[in-house]
Amino acid sequence: MSTTPVTWFEIGTDRPDEAERFYGELFGWTFEEQGAPGRSYRVTGAGGEEGIGGAVRATEDGSPNYTVFYAEVADVAETCRRAEAAGGKVLVPLRTAPSGLSFAHLLDPAGNQLGVFTPPASA
């Protein structure tokens, strides 16, 4: 059994209002804006008790739309090293949010994007 659960997803789009409406109508998901001013990040507890949560992020400056899943790992930097050793690439190097959450985006050898993250340490 894996000890690396997929616990988050993110949908990046240049039309976040439309994406929120679509997923709300399709699956009954509700969203809460949690982004900084001018940087929309709409969080949903889409999976409820049995699934994973996620968000719709507004893309900026003509960035392409995307969907990515995130696996929760113990050490983002080490996971990036292991991904490269296994033939993958690091697309977005390790970043740490003000909350303490650390993350990176990877590309598998077949060209699929995935994310890895470590949640903030408990207070």
CATH code, 56: 3.10.180.10
pLDDT of residue 107: 92
Q: Is residue 91 part of a domain?
A: yes
- The 10s digit of each residue's pLDDT in 19-65 is 999 988 888 889 999 988 888 999 988 767 777 889 999 988 778 88
Question: Which residues are bridge partners to 97 per DSSP?
Answer: none
Q: Is residue 123 part of a domain?
A: no
Q: The pTM is what?
A: 0.77
Question: What is the C-alpha to C-alpha distance for residues 86 and 16, in angstroms, rounded to an integer?
Answer: 34
**3-class SS of residue 20:** helix
pLDDT at 1 over 80: no
pLDDT at 2 over 70: no
Question: Which residues are bridge partners to 9 per DSSP?
Answer: 54, 69
- The 10s digit of each residue's pLDDT in 90-115 is 999 999 999 899 999 999 988 889 99
> How many structural domains is the chain composed of?
1
CA quadruple 69, 111, 78, 91: dihedral, nearest 10: -90
Domain that holds residue 71: 6-118
Q: Is residue 49 part of a domain?
A: yes
